[in-house]
């Protein structure tokens, strides 16, 4: 409320009131009603908008444009005007009325400074908080921000980048005022100028009645004792609650304070008793210094009529609560009080043309039919996926707001300001002719007083926000299980659509961003696996980031008759030959990457153990990869009985009797010493029912470098043994990597309670473990612990189902892993069999769906990894790396290019035969090569 006295409130409605007006300029000169013919202050706004106040006036005084002045309305009270401050304005427009010899002025408050184009902040950088953003806008506008140190809804939320300029920081045509409009919604208030010309966030203000006595909070049957603070039971009285007052100020009741019976007690801000006044049979009292509250008793019959006011005058009775005006303040025309809005319990944030909306309710789970909502549409700041957080704080501020829509003409009130909540009490006649007094709570949003020789004031409030009835397509929050949204970023000229899981931008999602110059699509499985396709008029750009977590790669088959002919060791690659370890008998191949006096780059050399030197071969790198490829890759092995397809590896045995083992190894992979858990899994289907099929994960210490002598360095292994027909099933185990098993042996329990104790005191040694609950050493049966000949302890466990064996030496640290697959014949010949194995994966932590290794990308038709690119369609395939280009047609190698050599199985040629003379023309690079010969010779 504008500052005014209770006398003003009474006198403004009185017949014969006398009014005044005053416009004061910066030099303190002023013009009054002698020169002012009419004044029209204007307040027209909506809830949660920036609000610029206007003022039109007509005067016979010529005032310059941009003149700064203050307007005050005066009401004569006891021949002295009481001035009501309407704040400061600038003359923005003027027109001369030739007929009346006067000037008509259009004026606005200082918020008019915001009516300029926003080209980005002059001060401050993003990201910044909402409060900082408002502060920096105020700096730009040279306006003081009154709430710069205050907390208010969403004040500390961070705005990552300037939403009102484009990606290059160029203007999008917004005005500062547009931004203040949207910021008003963000902070759940109305941004406006206060009478001190500071930019203020104005919130709904519950005005106070002139009556300070609340009859609903009295303590009945009590009054104050003679000590001034103790309660004295007396059924004739009620005792007021603590009434907040100002210190050293006079207050007056509408009945006298009967001496002793109505004594008044004064309390400090902590409601601690200070002193008291016995009443003295007068209506007024003055509060002592430091007084914050008063209490007193009154006779019960005064409960509904007693009134306490500030000052020394008493005015007509008003109930405690909101400031209230009645029919005496209203004209007898245009009095409309329509439907009630509220209590507000739902905030909706809408974007993308209201197609994408979220909401918050109070209480949290509010039935749809009970929701009364306020909708905020297309707010650029609350356009991201954290808008649910914004929404909650807005709701927290506005929940419970209720008021009646209204439109009425008043004889003049003038002291209500923006967002004041007040009551209008009027007598109304129902259909039966009964007159009842109805009270309507009103919110000040639109005010149009006309002040000339007289005063009338039109006040109205429309329905705020937008009516909402359909929640079926809304989600409560963007962070629901499924994120699905479309954002129209008008300022950036783009539409973003998104479908993702609840993990948000770090999770799994697909996103499409449509701009005027093109379309970007993103498919992300996680932050490591992302495919981005950017399509523009210039073409298509594909960016793929695939960081698979699979540790297994390059599984290598090892030979056995009837299964597979190829048998290669991993191919070494480097500028110089790899070291050959003593005792290693396997064939070693080396791909030379740098030409020297001895070796040629691009050639694959084979180590000759007899001559003990590296000799060049005709192998291509692809030849190795064809058999040493990952079991989970997309490739075709040239052997008819063995092939890799999709994510599985199928071995089809042709029935030839054999007792040889079959198996494969993967490349060894390093295991990080910082990891705690390794997960190993694969899928397998087998028709083998004689003998055993096993998949093994072997774990080695760091001394192991070659599989030949693996037993010496094997730390442990995990077997999954399949000895019967199995359908495709997933085998999975999580392995603790750094556990250490210590076993103390002796006749008495060890000092360390964390180790195991091999109790040797009895007839038979018993392994025991300390039980902290019973504080005793108890027999420890699971897992079984065995002791080997080297005096090392192992665990040996058979898990349920009998398919998994684990052998483990806990005292040795694991640093390498290798996957092996084998058929263990146990001396039995193999029958016909089909074994499918795929999706082999070793990874750290908990198991996840199969994925490739880092930098490997697979699809149905192509594979990209460290080896090269393979494109495949049906039986045709093209392989490309930095020094090879190989083409296959119907699984047959048709050509390859390696170094400077070109091989072609078939070349196009034209053939003619003239009288037995055959001429062949071979076209190579546009040149014709002719070969002529005589047919049959």
Partner 1 sequence: MFIDKDSLSVTVGNTTINLGDYILDAKYQYPKLWSEDSGRNLKGTMSGTLIGIFPKITVTFRRLNKTELENISKILDSTTQSVTYYDPYKKTYVNMNTYTGDWEFTNNNINSNSTFTISFIARSKR
Site string for partner 1, 455-474 (x = CB under 8 A): xx------------------
Q: Give the Cα separation of 918 and 874 in Å (integer).
A: 37
Least distance in Å: CB of 264 to partner 1? Answer: 35
Residue 647 binds to partner 1 (criterion: CB under 8 A): no
Residue 373 binds to partner 1 (criterion: CB under 8 A): no
Among 235, 339, 434, 453, binds partner 1 (CB under 8 A): 453
Q: Give the Cα separation of 308 and 318 in Å (integer).
A: 10
Least distance in Å: CB of 85 to partner 1? Answer: 20
Contact assessment for residue 454 and residue 338, using Cβ atoms and an 8 Å cutoff: no
Among 2, 13, 508, 862, binds partner 1 (CB under 8 A): 13
Least distance in Å: CB of 124 to partner 1? Answer: 50
Which window, 17-25, 41-49, 221-229, 834-842, contacts partner 1 (CB under 8 A)?
Answer: 17-25
Q: Give the Cα separation of 747 and 733 in Å (integer).
A: 37
Residue 442 binds to partner 1 (criterion: CB under 8 A): no
Site string for partner 1, 653-682 (x = CB under 8 A): ------------------------------
Strand-pair partners of 247: none
Which window, 119-127, 320-328, 472-480, 723-731, contacts partner 1 (CB under 8 A)?
Answer: 320-328
Q: At 155, phi and psi to the nearest 5?
A: -65, -30
Q: 331 vs 795, which CB is nearer to partner 1?
A: 331
Alpha helix positions (H), 145-259: 176-186
Q: 335 vs 532, which CB is nearer to partner 1?
A: 335
Which window, 13-21, 57-65, 816-824, 865-873, contacts partner 1 (CB under 8 A)?
Answer: 13-21
Angle between helices 176-186 and 387-398 (to 10 degrees): 70
Which window, 1-9, 136-144, 448-456, 523-531, contacts partner 1 (CB under 8 A)?
Answer: 448-456
Q: 332 vs 849, which CB is nearer to partner 1?
A: 332
Among 34, 369, 538, 611, binds partner 1 (CB under 8 A): 34
Contact assessment for residue 73 and residue 89, using Cβ atoms and an 8 Å cutoff: no
Q: At 40, phi and psi to the nearest 5?
A: -130, 90
Which window, 228-236, 323-331, 370-378, 589-597, contacts partner 1 (CB under 8 A)?
Answer: 323-331
Which window, 326-334, 504-512, 688-696, 862-870, contacts partner 1 (CB under 8 A)?
Answer: 326-334
Q: At 709, phi and psi to the nearest 5?
A: -110, 35
Residue 819 binds to partner 1 (criterion: CB under 8 A): no
Among 452, 593, 803, 909, binds partner 1 (CB under 8 A): 452
Least distance in Å: CB of 147 to partner 1? Answer: 38
Among 454, 673, 831, 845, binds partner 1 (CB under 8 A): 454
Least distance in Å: CB of 33 to partner 1? Answer: 9
In 662-701, where do the E strands start and end? 662-665, 669-670, 677-686, 692-700
Q: Give the Cα separation of 85 and 387 in Å (integer).
A: 39
Which window, 15-23, 147-155, 293-301, 726-734, contacts partner 1 (CB under 8 A)?
Answer: 15-23
Q: Helix, strand, or coil here: 889?
A: strand
Contact assessment for residue 827 and residue 682, using Cβ atoms and an 8 Å cutoff: no
In 634-676, where do the E strands start and end? 642-645, 648-653, 662-665, 669-670
Strand-pair partners of 927: 924
Residue 77 binds to partner 1 (criterion: CB under 8 A): no
Least distance in Å: CB of 438 to partner 1? Answer: 12
Residue 568 binds to partner 1 (criterion: CB under 8 A): no
* # residues near partner 1 by CB under 8 A: 24
- C-alpha of 835 from chain center: 46
Tokens of 192: 């406006």
Residue 901 binds to partner 1 (criterion: CB under 8 A): no
Q: 328 vs 606, which CB is nearer to partner 1?
A: 328
Considering only residues 388 through 417, tell me which ones interact with partner 1, judged by CB under 8 A: 411-412
Within 8 A by CB and 6+ apart from 876, the residues are 887, 888, 889, 890
Least distance in Å: CB of 29 to partner 1? Answer: 19
Neighbouring C-alpha atoms within 13 Å toward the C-beta of 559: 7
CB burial class (10 A; 0-12, 13-18, 19+) of residue 429? Answer: exposed
Residue 926 binds to partner 1 (criterion: CB under 8 A): no
Q: Give the Cα separation of 51 and 341 in Å (integer).
A: 21
CB burial class (10 A; 0-12, 13-18, 19+) of residue 860? Answer: exposed
Sign, CA dihedral 702-708-709-711, equals positive
Which window, 14-22, 577-585, 666-674, 745-753, contacts partner 1 (CB under 8 A)?
Answer: 14-22
Specify the length of the chain in residues.
Answer: 937
Considering only residues 333 through 372, tell me which ones interact with partner 1, judged by CB under 8 A: 335
Least distance in Å: CB of 170 to partner 1? Answer: 53
H-helix or E-strand spanning residue 134:
helix 130-141
- C-alpha of 460 from chain center: 40
Least distance in Å: CB of 236 to partner 1? Answer: 36
Furthest C-alpha separation in the chain:
149
Considering only residues 239 through 258, tell me which ones interact with partner 1, judged by CB under 8 A: none
Among 187, 330, 564, 735, binds partner 1 (CB under 8 A): 330
Q: Helix, strand, or coil here: 61?
A: coil
Q: 16 vs 874, which CB is nearer to partner 1?
A: 16
Within 8 A by CB and 6+ apart from 538, the residues are none
Q: How far apart, in Å, are the Cα atoms of 684 and each of 663, 808, 840, 859? A: 14, 24, 9, 21
Neighbouring C-alpha atoms within 13 Å toward the C-beta of 376: 32
Q: 4 vs 283, which CB is nearer to partner 1?
A: 4
Tokens of 375: 């909708």
| DSSP state for residue 611 in the 8-state scheme | T
Q: Give the Cα separation of 474 and 432 in Å (integer).
A: 45
Which window, 215-223, 451-459, 846-854, 900-908, contacts partner 1 (CB under 8 A)?
Answer: 451-459
Residue found by looking up tokens 């909708």 in the block: 375
Determine how many CB atoms are found less than 10 A away from the CB of residue 233. Answer: 9
Least distance in Å: CB of 213 to partner 1? Answer: 25
Least distance in Å: CB of 13 to partner 1? Answer: 7
Tokens of 174: 């917004």
Tokens of 823: 């058929």
Residue 557 binds to partner 1 (criterion: CB under 8 A): no
Residue 159 binds to partner 1 (criterion: CB under 8 A): no
Least distance in Å: CB of 32 to partner 1? Answer: 10
- C-alpha of 658 from chain center: 61
Q: 45 vs 411, which CB is nearer to partner 1?
A: 411
Q: 23 vs 199, which CB is nearer to partner 1?
A: 23
Least distance in Å: CB of 18 to partner 1? Answer: 5
Least distance in Å: CB of 453 to partner 1? Answer: 4
Residue 19 binds to partner 1 (criterion: CB under 8 A): yes
Q: At 394, phi and psi to the nearest 5?
A: -65, -45
Among 332, 429, 431, 882, binds partner 1 (CB under 8 A): 332
Residue 331 binds to partner 1 (criterion: CB under 8 A): yes
Least distance in Å: CB of 16 to partner 1? Answer: 4
Residue 7 binds to partner 1 (criterion: CB under 8 A): no
Alpha helix positions (H), 747-813: none
Tokens of 678: 């390794």
Residue 530 binds to partner 1 (criterion: CB under 8 A): no
Least distance in Å: CB of 57 to partner 1? Answer: 17
Q: Give the interface with partner 1 as residue ranges (CB under 8 A).
A: 13, 15-19, 34, 326-332, 335, 411-412, 426-427, 452-456
């Amino acid at each position: 409320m504008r500052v005014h006295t209770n006398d003003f409130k009474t006198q403004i409605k009185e017949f014969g009131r006398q009014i005044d007006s005053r416009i004061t300029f910066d030099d303190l000169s002023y013009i009054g009603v002698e020169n002012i013919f009419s004044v029209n202050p204007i307040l027209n706004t909506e809830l949660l908008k920036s609000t610029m106040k206007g003022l039109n006036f007509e005067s016979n005084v010529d005032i310059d444009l941009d003149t700064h002045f203050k307007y005050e309305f005066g009401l004569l009270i006891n021949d002295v005007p009481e001035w009501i401050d309407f704040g400061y304005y600038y003359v923005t427009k003027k027109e001369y009325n030739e007929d009346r010899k006067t000037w008509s002025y259009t004026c606005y408050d200082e918020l008019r400074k915001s009516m300029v184009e926003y080209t980005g902040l002059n001060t401050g950088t993003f990201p910044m908080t909402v409060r900082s953003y408002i502060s920096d806008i105020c700096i730009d506008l040279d306006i003081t921000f009154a709430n710069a140190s205050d907390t208010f809804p969403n004040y500390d939320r961070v705005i990552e980048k300037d939403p009102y300029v484009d990606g290059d920081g160029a203007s999008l045509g917004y005005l500062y005022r547009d931004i203040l409009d949207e910021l008003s919604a963000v902070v759940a208030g109305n941004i406006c100028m206060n009478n001190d010309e500071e930019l203020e966030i104005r919130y709904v203000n519950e005005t106070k009645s002139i009556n300070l006595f609340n009859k609903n909070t009295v303590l009945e049957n009590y009054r104050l004792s003679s000590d001034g603070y103790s309660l004295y039971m007396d059924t004739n009285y009620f005792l007021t609650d603590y009434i907040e007052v100002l210190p050293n100020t006079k207050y007056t009741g509408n009945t006298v304070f009967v001496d002793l019976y109505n004594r008044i007690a004064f309390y400090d801000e902590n409601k601690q008793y200070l002193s008291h006044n016995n009443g003295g049979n007068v209506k007024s009292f003055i509060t002592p210094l430091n007084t914050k509250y008063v209490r007193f008793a009154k006779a019960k019959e005064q409960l509904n009529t007693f009134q306490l006011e500030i000052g020394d005058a008493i005015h007509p009775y008003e109930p405690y609560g909101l400031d209230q005006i009645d029919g005496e303040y209203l004209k007898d025309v245009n009095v409309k009080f329509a439907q009630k809005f509220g209590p507000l319990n739902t905030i909706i944030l809408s974007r993308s043309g209201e197609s994408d909306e979220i909401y918050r309710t109070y209480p949290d789970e509010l039935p749809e039919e009970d929701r009364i909502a306020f909708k905020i549409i297309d707010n650029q700041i609350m356009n991201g996926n954290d808008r649910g957080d914004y929404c909650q704080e807005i709701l927290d501020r506005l929940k419970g707001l209720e008021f009646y829509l209204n439109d009425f003409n008043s004889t003049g009130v003038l002291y209500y300001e923006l967002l004041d909540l007040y009551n209008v009490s009027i007598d109304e006649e129902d259909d039966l002719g009964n007159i009842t007094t109805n009270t309507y709570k009103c919110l000040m949003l639109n005010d149009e007083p006309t002040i000339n020789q007289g005063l009338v004031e039109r006040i109205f409030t429309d329905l705020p926000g937008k009516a909402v009835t359909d929640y079926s397509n809304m989600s409560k929050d963007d962070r629901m299980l499924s994120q699905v949204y479309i954002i129209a970023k008008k300022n950036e000229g783009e539409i973003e659509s998104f479908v993702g899981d609840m993990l948000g931008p770090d999770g799994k999602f697909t996103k499409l961003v449509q701009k005027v110059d093109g379309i970007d699509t993103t498919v992300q499985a996680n932050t490591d696996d992302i495919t981005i396709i950017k399509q523009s008029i210039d073409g298509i750009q594909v960016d793929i980031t695939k960081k698979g977590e699979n540790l297994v790669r390059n599984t290598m088959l090892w030979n056995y008759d009837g299964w597979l002919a190829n048998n290669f060791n991993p191919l070494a690659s480097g500028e110089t030959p790899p070291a050959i370890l003593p005792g290693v008998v396997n064939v070693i191949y080396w791909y030379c990457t740098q030409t020297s006096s001895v070796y040629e780059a691009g050639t694959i050399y084979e180590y000759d153990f007899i001559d003990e030197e590296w000799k060049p071969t005709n192998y291509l790198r692809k030849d190795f990869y064809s058999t040493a490829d990952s079991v989970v890759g997309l490739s075709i092995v040239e052997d008819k009985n063995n092939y890799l397809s999709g994510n599985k590896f199928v071995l089809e045995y042709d029935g030839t009797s054999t007792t040889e083992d079959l198996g494969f190894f993967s490349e060894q992979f390093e295991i990080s010493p910082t990891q705690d858990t390794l997960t190993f899994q694969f899928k397998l289907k087998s028709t083998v029912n004689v003998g055993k099929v096993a998949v093994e994960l072997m774990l080695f210490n760091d001394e192991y470098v070659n599989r030949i002598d693996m037993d010496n360095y094997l730390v442990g292994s995990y077997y999954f043994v399949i000895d019967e027909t199995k359908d495709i099933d997933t085998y999975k185990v999580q392995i603790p990597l750094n556990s250490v098993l210590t076993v103390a042996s002796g006749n008495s329990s060890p000092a360390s309670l964390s180790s195991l104790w091999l109790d040797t005191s009895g007839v038979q040694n018993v392994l025991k473990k300390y039980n902290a609950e019973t504080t005793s050493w108890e027999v420890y049966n699971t897992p079984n612990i065995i002791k080997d000949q080297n005096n090392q302890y192992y665990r040996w466990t058979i898990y349920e189902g009998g398919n998994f064996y684990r052998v483990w030496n806990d005292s040795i640290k694991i640093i390498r892993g290798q996957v092996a697959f084998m058929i263990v014949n146990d001396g039995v010949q193999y029958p016909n069999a089909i074994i499918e194995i795929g999706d082999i994966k070793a990874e750290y932590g908990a198991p996840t769906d199969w994925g490739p290794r880092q930098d490997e990308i697979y699809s149905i038709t192509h594979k990209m990894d460290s080896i090269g690119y393979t494109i495949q369609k049906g039986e045709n395939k093209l392989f490309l790396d930095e020094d090879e280009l190989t083409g296959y047609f119907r699984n047959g190698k048709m050509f390859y290019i390696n170094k400077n050599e070109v091989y072609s199985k078939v070349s196009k040629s034209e053939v003619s035969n003239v009288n037995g003379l055959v001429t062949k023309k071979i076209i190579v690079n546009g040149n014709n090569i002719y070969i002529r010969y005589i047919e049959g010779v």
